[in-house]
A and B are shown apart, each in its own frame.
Chain A
């Protein structure tokens, strides 16, 4: 038990020591470890006090050990001395030691001495270490500088990028292999700027000035520069500039880095060419043409006439489909050459837009031929036969022309004008060229707008039917009522039947609108018949070519008759004679089936004696004279005119076939008399009654 007490006494002293030291220094270990360590040191001190021959050497070692274990704070030693001096002298375990007080004093003194010596050594060591570190850091930096110098040399000589070093007076100091590869050998002492195209020297000089002035710290120049080699060949390069400086930071040399992008530049030009040219003919493409046109419109002289021709080959598809794609390509190639030849004397651009579309831009000079002469030359040039693979090929072209004097305006609008003119030429079907007419164009666009508004107007009830009577010319008896479309347009006023039909054809509405007309008119007639006790004239409805061909026509007519309870023989449908001229087909079939149903048929647009042939072939007993014949007769009613004689002949032939003739569009009683005398049976027009709403017609019929 006694030993245990002694133990715990010693342990208590160790804990006291640890606690005294804990806040004096940072010791990188755990608290338990610290206590263990101090206990060990304490055991050694106890040991030295209890051996027979006391020596303070152990004290020195303990002092050293404290330093090694980082108990090196300012207070570490004084606390140690305090704890040990008091604790050892009073320790019960040591009370039997002879001369304890003296030995403790000596031992603690040795601890302090050992501690001081170790701390001094450690501090010197650490100072030595830091000095070494400093030296090392300096050496590292020095070596780093040498390495970077060596790296620079290596880079300079082996770089694929050209490098020129010049002094502040722009004299070349050194060039590397890569740069010599670009511009050839240029001896030191020459001016740096001899390497460059004269136009590119200024931006380079400015860049260096900015560097020297401190306005920039070295930079890549944004634009490509041109270098000139000794043979005067151009090279393209991006440049970066920087300065070499001495130890005080003052600039000593200029470094110009040259990245040769000549190949890239050429490739870029090639790509640019490809993106702006038609690969087949090598002509400029539409994009190039438009940008050229734009710049011409920007800078044209006020007196200069600018002409744009839009050219479409006619029948090219036939060449392509009939022979081969390859032949087609060669034709286009030849056309491109010929077009270039026609305008070779002018300031002109010939472009290919696509398949068989070409365009020409001409800035007229006094020697530029007139538009008509130009068009004629183009067509005569194209009319020259081409001999390809033993075949003789001829193409022709339709040409739309737009002109403008002086600068301004938009390229797209001028081109559109030429296209509008071409469109008109194509629709006319006969002419080969035409000049853009702004009025016609405005009208065209207004009609497009109207056509686009038609479906909406129909849906909202702006479309209705008018009726106009047809009368026997002999006695004025009303024998028929024609149903006519009418559009009460909120801004444009009333649009009449023919106009409505043309717009409907454009929008694809012609069939549904036609069907609607038929059914509405049948309903109307049915309601009149009820009111008038079953006695009414024929309902006359004229069909468009599209309706006449419609495979659903017969079904629709039958449906309309059944729904309204109208007898088939109360309906007379007009079918354009052109439908039958096209040969056997759906139109003829429809006609036959309708006749079989008992519907009366009138052939519309009779104008030629040959039209009479249909009367021999078909069970048709009524014809309607073409409006243009009626109009011509009205202009030249004199008996001697050829038209008048032809009309009479036509009517005579119709009569001889047992058919009767309707003449629409008669304005005056005089005209009506003429047609009656010529042999026409039924007439319609202003001389009798204008188209009117159903209530006007019923009034007319009841007043009969």
Chain B
């Protein structure tokens, strides 16, 4: 699969690794190609990527359950990627089958994959829009009629905003979404950080440069700023493993090895 296939349109890219398929591979999925697996192995040489992926996926699961507990019944998952194990709709609908989930991604294979998987599920759907264009996302969302912006919703940006460079103003993007959310809505976000293992994350950044989505890990303060206008729930912005673990010993002795900060905030 190392060369361009004639029947594959330009926008469907099989030559350059995709972070969504790397994530799938790290989570044990087989929805990936050789280029993705090779990139994942290079990543594993730099950072404990498999643990990072698992811990991030664990945070997503706990965050969604927390939101269902808080009364949220509709979810907007931005940058949802390949629907590997433990999807938002699986977690949420297991807790309450009435939960509605709209996935948003721009990567065409991830979107096509999600469509296949969600066929027959009336309460979950996927749209292909660039999450960096909040207005387009929200317009599509309204056209789609699955979610109701007038009601509180759970906005999920799990392990995705590090793929938005400063030049695209991730803070402004989050603010644009926040503005349109009904009061009482929540934002759950996890984000790569160089704070825990600076040198190793720098190597990981080099690996991501060879993929379709170069990564931009951010410091605690920078990630905090993404939550402007949201009131963080306990325990605030912490490493993924430290966010409301199932048991106190779960985070272990090296929570910083998760290399992702995570938090859930409520729109003021």
Residues on A facing B (Cβ under 8 Å): 25-31, 70, 72-73, 122-123, 126-127, 129-130, 132-138, 140-142, 145
In the assembled complex, the Cα of A31 lies from the Cα of B248 at a distance in Å of 13
Q: Is the CB of A132 within 8 A of B116?
A: yes
B172 part of interface (Cβ distance < 8 Å): no
- Binary flags per residue of B5-41, CB closer than 8 Å to A gives 1, else 0: 0011101101000000000000111111100000000
Q: Is the CB of B30 within 8 A of A140?
A: no
Q: Is the CB of B116 within 8 A of A129?
A: yes
In the assembled complex, the Cα of A30 lies from the Cα of B12 at a distance in Å of 36
Ordered by A's residue number, 24 sampled pairs between the chains whose C-beta atoms are within 8 Å are A26-B54, A28-B85, A28-B86, A28-B90, A28-B91, A31-B246, A70-B28, A70-B85, A122-B30, A126-B29, A127-B30, A129-B117, A132-B113, A134-B12, A135-B112, A136-B112, A136-B116, A137-B108, A137-B111, A138-B7, A140-B111, A140-B112, A140-B128, A142-B9
B61 part of interface (Cβ distance < 8 Å): yes
CB contact under 8 A between A134 and B112, given known A26-B53, A26-B85, A28-B85: yes
- Taking CB atoms, residues of chain A closer than 8 Å to B115 are 136
In the assembled complex, the Cα of A96 lies from the Cα of B29 at a distance in Å of 42
* Chain B residue with Cβ nearest A74: B28
In the assembled complex, the Cα of A127 lies from the Cα of B113 at a distance in Å of 11
In the assembled complex, the Cα of A27 lies from the Cα of B58 at a distance in Å of 9
- Taking CB atoms, residues of chain B closer than 8 Å to A31 are 246-247
B57 part of interface (Cβ distance < 8 Å): yes
Q: CB within 8 A of A123: which of B11, B30, B116? A: B30
Nearest CB of A to B184, in Å: 27
* Chain A residue with Cβ nearest B7: A138
Q: Which 9 A-B pairs have the closest CB atoms?
A: A28-B86, A136-B112, A133-B113, A126-B30, A141-B9, A137-B108, A137-B112, A26-B54, A133-B112
**Interface set, chain B 70-120, CB cutoff 8 A to A:** 85-86, 90-91, 108-113, 115-117
Q: Is the CB of A130 within 8 A of B32?
A: yes
In the assembled complex, the Cα of A28 lies from the Cα of B111 at a distance in Å of 22
CB contact under 8 A between A28 and B112, given known A123-B30, A141-B11: no
In the assembled complex, the Cα of A132 lies from the Cα of B115 at a distance in Å of 11
In the assembled complex, the Cα of A141 lies from the Cα of B14 at a distance in Å of 14
- Taking CB atoms, residues of chain A closer than 8 Å to B128 are 140
Q: Is the CB of B30 within 8 A of A26?
A: no
In the assembled complex, the Cα of A178 lies from the Cα of B128 at a distance in Å of 34
Q: Is the CB of A30 within 8 A of B246?
A: yes
CB contact under 8 A between A26 and B11, given known A130-B31, A136-B116, A137-B112: no
CB contact under 8 A between A133 and B31, given known A30-B246, A140-B108: yes
In the assembled complex, the Cα of A474 lies from the Cα of B235 at a distance in Å of 118
Q: CB within 8 A of A137: which of B31, B32, B109? A: B109
- Taking CB atoms, residues of chain A closer than 8 Å to B12 are 134, 137-138, 141
- Taking CB atoms, residues of chain B closer than 8 Å to A134 are 8, 12, 14, 109, 112
In the assembled complex, the Cα of A140 lies from the Cα of B126 at a distance in Å of 14
Q: Is the CB of A138 within 8 A of B54?
A: no
* Chain B residue with Cβ nearest A141: B9
- Taking CB atoms, residues of chain B closer than 8 Å to A73 are 28
Report the contact-size class of chain B (Cβ under 8 Å from the partner).
20 to 34
- Taking CB atoms, residues of chain A closer than 8 Å to B54 are 26
CB contact under 8 A between A26 and B108, given known A132-B116, A141-B11: no
* Chain A residue with Cβ nearest B33: A130
CB contact under 8 A between A129 and B109, given known A28-B91, A136-B115, A141-B12: no
CB contact under 8 A between A138 and B57, given known A70-B28, A133-B112: no
Nearest CB of B to A313, in Å: 62
Q: Is the CB of A129 within 8 A of B28?
A: no
In the assembled complex, the Cα of A26 lies from the Cα of B49 at a distance in Å of 13
Q: CB within 8 A of B9: which of A123, A127, A138? A: A138
In the assembled complex, the Cα of A72 lies from the Cα of B28 at a distance in Å of 7
User: Interface centre among A127, A137, A138, A142, by most B CB within 10 Å?
Assistant: A137
Q: Is the CB of A138 within 8 A of B8?
A: yes
- Taking CB atoms, residues of chain A closer than 8 Å to B14 are 134
In the assembled complex, the Cα of A126 lies from the Cα of B7 at a distance in Å of 21
Nearest CB of A to B36, in Å: 10
User: Interface centre among A26, A30, A134, by most B CB within 10 Å?
Assistant: A26
Nearest CB of B to A39, in Å: 18
**Interface set, chain B 186-213, CB cutoff 8 A to A:** none
Nearest CB of B to A69, in Å: 10
Nearest CB of B to A496, in Å: 76
In the assembled complex, the Cα of A141 lies from the Cα of B28 at a distance in Å of 28
In the assembled complex, the Cα of A123 lies from the Cα of B29 at a distance in Å of 8
In the assembled complex, the Cα of A648 lies from the Cα of B28 at a distance in Å of 134
- Taking CB atoms, residues of chain A closer than 8 Å to B58 are 26
**20 further contact pairs, Cβ within 8 A, besides A26-B27, A140-B111, A141-B108:** A25-B28, A26-B57, A126-B29, A126-B31, A127-B30, A127-B31, A129-B116, A132-B112, A132-B113, A133-B31, A133-B109, A133-B112, A133-B113, A133-B116, A134-B12, A134-B14, A134-B109, A136-B112, A137-B112, A142-B9
**Interface set, chain B 116-147, CB cutoff 8 A to A:** 116-117, 128
- Binary flags per residue of B220-248, CB closer than 8 Å to A gives 1, else 0: 00000000000000000000000000110
In the assembled complex, the Cα of A137 lies from the Cα of B128 at a distance in Å of 11
In the assembled complex, the Cα of A29 lies from the Cα of B58 at a distance in Å of 9
- Taking CB atoms, residues of chain A closer than 8 Å to B113 are 129-130, 132-133, 136
* Chain A residue with Cβ nearest B14: A134
Nearest CB of B to A554, in Å: 77
- Taking CB atoms, residues of chain A closer than 8 Å to B28 are 25-26, 70, 72-73
Q: Is the CB of B86 within 8 A of A26?
A: yes
- Taking CB atoms, residues of chain A closer than 8 Å to B246 are 30-31
- Taking CB atoms, residues of chain A closer than 8 Å to B112 are 132-137, 140
Nearest CB of A to B263, in Å: 21
Nearest CB of A to B149, in Å: 26
Nearest CB of A to B18, in Å: 11
- Taking CB atoms, residues of chain B closer than 8 Å to A145 are 9
- Taking CB atoms, residues of chain A closer than 8 Å to B86 are 26, 28-29
In the assembled complex, the Cα of A27 lies from the Cα of B28 at a distance in Å of 10
In the assembled complex, the Cα of A73 lies from the Cα of B28 at a distance in Å of 6
In the assembled complex, the Cα of A70 lies from the Cα of B54 at a distance in Å of 12
In the assembled complex, the Cα of A3 lies from the Cα of B222 at a distance in Å of 58
In the assembled complex, the Cα of A414 lies from the Cα of B102 at a distance in Å of 74
* Chain A residue with Cβ nearest B128: A140
Nearest CB of A to B209, in Å: 24
- Taking CB atoms, residues of chain A closer than 8 Å to B111 are 137, 140
Q: Is the CB of B61 within 8 A of A28?
A: yes
In the assembled complex, the Cα of A129 lies from the Cα of B115 at a distance in Å of 11
- Taking CB atoms, residues of chain B closer than 8 Å to A26 are 27-28, 53-54, 57-58, 85-86
- Taking CB atoms, residues of chain A closer than 8 Å to B30 are 122-123, 126-127, 130
In the assembled complex, the Cα of A130 lies from the Cα of B30 at a distance in Å of 8
In the assembled complex, the Cα of A123 lies from the Cα of B25 at a distance in Å of 11
In the assembled complex, the Cα of A353 lies from the Cα of B266 at a distance in Å of 65
Nearest CB of B to A77, in Å: 13
* Chain B residue with Cβ nearest A72: B28
- Taking CB atoms, residues of chain A closer than 8 Å to B29 are 126
- Taking CB atoms, residues of chain B closer than 8 Å to A27 are 85
Q: Is the CB of B109 within 8 A of A130?
A: yes
In the assembled complex, the Cα of A134 lies from the Cα of B13 at a distance in Å of 10
- Taking CB atoms, residues of chain A closer than 8 Å to B90 are 28
* Chain B residue with Cβ nearest A247: B10
- Taking CB atoms, residues of chain B closer than 8 Å to A137 are 12, 108-109, 111-112
In the assembled complex, the Cα of A132 lies from the Cα of B53 at a distance in Å of 25
Nearest CB of B to A133, in Å: 4
In the assembled complex, the Cα of A123 lies from the Cα of B108 at a distance in Å of 21
In the assembled complex, the Cα of A471 lies from the Cα of B210 at a distance in Å of 116
